């Protein structure tokens, strides 16, 4: 349900820019540890630690990443409380590599044409299909702002993510 994705980022602090030769890494392709931290009458907590071997930085030419790799560790605590309809995730990342972005992917498998993201004082409905913006000066990244709530739904199902610190959302297909 939760897959981390790492890609190179040749942009600046405000804008993501895909380098000419990108490399993509998924947490499901790497090593992980799983443990039950507690299992009691009021809830259970699981701990998943993903270990990914990622290139340590972009090359000097800015076109691709270097071949040297570092172990990149992502630790997630997942809480399920008795009587609650939701799971609570808390993720910790020791960011020891440069010029990259880490995204978390939650496939919904919900057939919908729109989704919602929170913006100040409003839930903005957005189309999942991207408009053709090829005539614009800046390359379209498909990234939308997110202020703490992302939701996708159809007539029977709904997936909502309530988050802190994830300020962008992208809708993509379910392929990994």
Convert the pLDDT of each residue in 44-81 to its tens digit: 999 999 999 999 999 999 899 999 999 999 999 999 99
Per-residue pLDDT at 103 exceeds 80: yes
Q: For the chain, what percent of residues have pLDDT higher than 70?
A: 97
Choose the weakest-confidence range: 103-112, 121-130, 136-145: 136-145
User: Tell me, what's the pLDDT at 11?
Assistant: 82
Q: What is the pLDDT of residues 17-47, one digit of tens each?
A: 889 998 899 999 989 999 999 999 999 999 9
User: Tell me, what's the pLDDT at 176?
Assistant: 38
Identify the band that residue 169 occupies on the pLDDT scale cut at 50, 70 and 90: confident
* Mean pLDDT score, 100-111: 88
User: Tell me, what's the pLDDT at 128?
Assistant: 84
User: Tell me, what's the pLDDT at 173?
Assistant: 54
* Mean pLDDT score, 122-129: 89
Output 108 or 137, whichever has higher pLDDT: 108
User: Tell me, what's the pLDDT at 15?
Assistant: 76
Report the 3 state secondary structure along 76-135. Answer: EEEEEECCCCCEEEEEEECCCCCCEEEEEECCCCCCCCEEEEEECCEEEEEECCCCCCCC
User: Tell me, what's the pLDDT at 93?
Assistant: 95
- What is the distance between the alpha carbons of residues 106 and 161, in angstroms, rounded to a whole number? 9
| Burial of 155 per CB tally in 10 Å (0-12, 13-18, 19+) | exposed
Q: Which domains does the chain have, with CATH numbers?
A: 1-105 (2.70.98.30), 107-176 (no CATH)
Q: How far is CA 11 from CA 7, 33, 38, 95, 146, in A?
A: 12, 33, 41, 17, 20
Distance in angstroms between the alpha carbons of the first and the last residue of the chain: 12
Per-residue pLDDT at 175 exceeds 70: no
Closest CA to 56 of 44, 71, 34, 42: 71
């Amino acid at each position: 349900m939760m897959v981390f994705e790492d890609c190179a980022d040749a942009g600046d602090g405000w804008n993501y820019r895909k380098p000419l030769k990108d490399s993509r890494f998924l947490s499901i392709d790497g090593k992980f540890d799983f443990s039950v931290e507690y299992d009691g009458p009021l809830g259970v907590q699981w701990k998943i630690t993903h270990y990914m071997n990622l290139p340590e930085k972009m090359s000097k030419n800015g076109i691709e990443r270097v071949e040297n790799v570092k172990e990149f560790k992502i630790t997630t605590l997942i809480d399920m409380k008795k009587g609650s309809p939701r799971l609570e995730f808390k993720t910790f990342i020791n960011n020891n590599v440069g010029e990259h972005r880490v995204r978390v992917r939650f496939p919904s498998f919900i057939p919908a044409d729109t989704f919602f993201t929170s913006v100040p004082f409003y839930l903005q409905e957005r189309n999942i299909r991207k408009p053709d913006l090829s005539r614009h000066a800046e390359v379209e990244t498909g990234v939308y702002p997110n202020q703490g709530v992302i939701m996708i739904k159809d007539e029977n199902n709904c997936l909502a993510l309530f988050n802190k610190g994830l300020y962008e959302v992208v809708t993509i297909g379910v392929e990994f």
